[in-house]
Structure 1
């Protein structure tokens, strides 16, 4: 997002945080209702355009949204959406994208309240790795001809009782409402969103063998010192790296693996 949409999203995030600071607000219910609004705006493109039409006064747009949604979703969700509709958006789709982000954020608030945010973050990361390595499973979950019920049942068989309920809800929503994203990209984005709730950066650490607790602590402390922010480690084991460690933080890669060193030697010999 850029311009007006970026500012509108920032205000919406603040509004969500203020709302969910109140423990009486059911964050999980709020998430489901915001997800339903996202699906509505995806289906009704003309409505989305009306609600973001810069030629109409923000208050008029908010009043329309309130009339349409009142009685369909709870008061907190209505307040959030009408507040967002009052804002200016660079593109009509940005409104739906922002409401979707708030839906996932509300689910993460529910996890945080239950003391399970770390578990959810790790489960999203691990499930992303499973998808990346299992082509058959990925095809089953992204098959456009498969019904929502079939995909939901498959995820229930995979995650039910094994993953946190918030993780299961988030993954299920991402699978049945992909909104043009790849499953892997969606899972990675959601893992980062989970990390951002504690203003942490995410480092994807790849090693040939699992790190010990002491190694994880030392690496985490070193990266925290280097970046000046708390770093959450998502650990991945890949025997092909041979040894050493590869750390990816956003677009930056710190590569100290034996495989990478051998590649450089081969390149010099070929040159």
Structure 2
């Protein structure tokens, strides 16, 4: 479960990257590590396993990543493994990415749809929200079949809900409130 520690790790890494002028390099390394964990769930399971010694876990981390990622990020992985927090890595990546993109003036749009977006739809969303926010937009996509159709977008604290589920819920509330008035 996500907690405040991942936010602190992400922010601390962001501050180090700023100081070293390596914002993009850190972001690329973090994304690469996330990709490795997604492609090799066995590695993540190995790093989580309570019966594998810390020395073995750190040796594997070193063998897999040393020389391929920034030393600070390798130290972060080391720290996460030592404190049994490797599952926080994905949250740290997300938090770091948010800080890095905001620093560059780029906003993140969380987009939920019932089916995956195609490139044209992605570009339309980017163009529309870039105009609204006068900023470049990066899209994080989530597939949520419960919304039935349409699109739900959150940029910072603003939510744009054009989903069929939302429209059906509104219709249901309207119908129920109208029937209560007539009955009462």
TM-score, length of structure 2 as denominator length: 0.58
Cα drift, residue 106 of structure 1: 6.0
Partner of 1:253: 159
Cα drift, residue 103 of structure 1: 2.5
Give the 5 Å matches for 1:109-148.
Answer: 109=22, 111-112=24-25, 117=27
The partner residue of 2:99 within 193, 204, 207 is 193
Alpha-carbon distance change, 144 to 205 in structure 1, aligned in 2, over 3 angstroms: farther
Please state if 1:219 is matched with 2:125: yes
Cα drift, residue 99 of structure 1: 5.1
Contiguous gaps of at least 5 residues in structure 2: 1-7, 39-43, 178-184
**How far apart, CA to CA, are the structure 1 residues paired with 2:54 and 2:75?**
15
Alpha-carbon distance change, 244 to 190 in structure 1, aligned in 2, over 3 angstroms: same
SS at structure 1 position matched to 2:22? helix
**How far apart, CA to CA, are the structure 2 residues paired with 1:145 and 1:109?**
36
Partner of 1:175: 80
**How far apart, CA to CA, are the structure 1 residues paired with 2:111 and 2:103?**
20
1:152-205 CA deviation, whole Å, 9 max, x = no partner?
A: 68989xxx58xx846x74873673488x9x936534311202313422111111
Alpha-carbon distance change, 228 to 108 in structure 1, aligned in 2, over 3 angstroms: same
- Aligned CA RMSD, in angstroms, stands at 4.6
Across the two proteins, how many residue pairs are aligned to each other?
Answer: 158
Q: In proportion to residue count, which structure has more strand?
A: 2
Higher relative contact order (CA 8 A, sep 6+): 2
Structure 1 moving runs of 4+ over 3 Å: 96-101, 104-108, 119-127, 143-156, 168-171, 173-178, 184-187
Alpha-carbon distance change, 172 to 98 in structure 1, aligned in 2, over 3 angstroms: closer
SS at structure 2 position matched to 1:256? strand
